[in-house]
């Protein structure tokens, strides 16, 4: 049974410029011990999706609707903020993208960490301090006992990020939402953090939602991947098949923009032409159509549904030309159809 099941999630923001459709009809499920990677460029709706699940979208201006958001069998979309606080930070936790706005600058690191344990596990402050020091050591912070007494402004950006990660892991959550967890960390610490998350997953069956721009991290960590563009899921697949043969032109654009280690000094990075659409003035057809090399006439007037393809193990793509994309060879083989 899925530990988290999201059905038809929508988020809009009412602004002076009009209604911004930040997330449109997003559905997914994740089971114990599974990792779901959510990828897409800035503004695609990844972080807003996670905030909506946690009940953290400010209202107003945000308006969140969903058919259901079931967490451990309970529909948390129907809960009040007071009821959500029983879950948030404990059984369901989130590593936020920006530690400067997520950590309270007036409270020590120890107080911010121990509050999580006192709220959700009811342990004493002395016992909480011991757990907090261990958590800081686990995420690679040197002299963790001393850092507990520091304020956020006394730490480097990378250390603040690690404090946020330690906070997210403190209560061994059943679902961990990690929003760009390795931002501002060097590659050594990044590997250490990812290994820690995998160990938590192995020991406690934690389900992880990994939101990132780093496709290398997604390839190494994720069991399945959802690609988002302009607030919608445009492709859904297991990780390996998606990287081998994308079934949406946007996914293909993301993958071909990754640098390769061919050693060719004349190699140029590929890019996706154009810009994402204005979410307050979405085009009538496919949102990706102005940037797409595979577009056909119907793309300008008819928005494609996220549909599965026969014989592709439940893979789904929101593209009118998904069957033609599927007919090609893999990216690795280079057997691409002439466009």
**Residue 330: predicted pLDDT:** 62
Residues of the chain with pLDDT below 70 are 184, 261-264, 329-339
For the chain, how far is it from start to end, CA to CA, in angstroms?
A: 42
Which stretches of 121-204 are DSSP H helices? 125-138, 144-147, 157-169, 187-204
The number of beta carbons lying within 10 Å of the beta carbon of residue 144 is 18
- The pLDDT of residue 262 is 65
Tokens of 292: 């797409």
**DSSP secondary structure string for all residues of 77-124:** GG--HHHHTTTBTTTEEEE-S-HHHHS-TTS-HHHHHHHHHHHHT---
> Which is nearest to 235 in space by CA: 244, 225, 245?
225
Convert the pLDDT of each residue in 249-274 to its tens digit: 999 999 988 877 666 677 777 889 89
In tens, the pLDDT along 11-21 reads 999 998 889 99
The HSE-up count of residue 19 (CA atoms within 13 Å, CB side) is 9
- Which CATH homologous superfamily contains domain 2-222? P-loop containing nucleotide triphosphate hydrolases (3.40.50.300)
Tell me what pLDDT residue 271 has.
Answer: 85
- Spell out the domain ranges in the chain: 2-222, 244-261+269-326
CB 169 within 8 A of CB 86: no
Predicted pLDDT of residue 339: 37
What gap in Å lies between CA 303 and CA 317, rounded to an integer?
A: 12
What was the pLDDT predicted at 68? 96
Predicted pLDDT at 196: 85
SS3 category, 250: helix
């Amino acid at each position: 049974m899925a530990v988290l099941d999201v059905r038809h999630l929508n988020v809009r923001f009412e602004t002076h410029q009009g209604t911004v459709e930040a997330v449109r009809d997003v559905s997914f499920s994740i089971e114990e011990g599974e990792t779901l990677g959510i990828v897409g460029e800035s503004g695609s709706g990844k972080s807003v999706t996670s905030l909506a699940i946690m009940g953290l979208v400010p209202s107003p201006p945000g308006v969140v609707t969903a058919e259901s958001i079931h967490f451990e069998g309970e529909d948390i979309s129907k809960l009040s903020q007071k009821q959500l606080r029983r879950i948030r930070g404990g059984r369901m936790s989130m590593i936020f993208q920006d530690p400067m706005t997520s950590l309270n600058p007036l409270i020590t690191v120890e107080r911010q960490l121990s509050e999580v344990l006192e709220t959700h596990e009811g342990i004493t402050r002395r016992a909480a301090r011991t757990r907090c020091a261990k958590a800081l050591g686990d995420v690679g912070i040197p002299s963790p006992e001393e850092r507990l007494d520091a304020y956020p402004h006394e730490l480097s950006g990378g250390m603040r990020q690690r404090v946020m990660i330690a906070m997210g892991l403190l209560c061994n959550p059943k679902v961990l939402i990690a929003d760009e967890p390795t931002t501002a960390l060097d590659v050594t610490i990044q590997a250490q953090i990812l290994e820690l998350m995998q160990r938590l997953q192995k020991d406690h069956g934690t389900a992880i939602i990994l939101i990132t721009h780093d496709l290398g991290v997604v390839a190494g960590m994720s069991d399945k991947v959802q690609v988002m563009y302009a607030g919608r899921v445009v492709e859904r697949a297991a990780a390996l098949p998606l990287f081998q043969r994308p079934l949406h032109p946007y996914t293909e654009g993301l993958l071909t923009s990754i640098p390769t280690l061919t050693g060719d000094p004349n190699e140029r990075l590929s890019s996706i032409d154009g810009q994402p659409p204005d979410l307050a003035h979405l085009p009538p057809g496919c949102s990706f159509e102005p940037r797409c090399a595979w577009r056909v006439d119907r793309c300008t007037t008819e928005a494609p549904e996220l549909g599965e393809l026969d014989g592709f193990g439940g893979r789904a793509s929101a593209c009118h030309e998904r069957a033609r994309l599927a007919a090609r060879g893999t990216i690795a083989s280079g057997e691409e159809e002439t466009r």
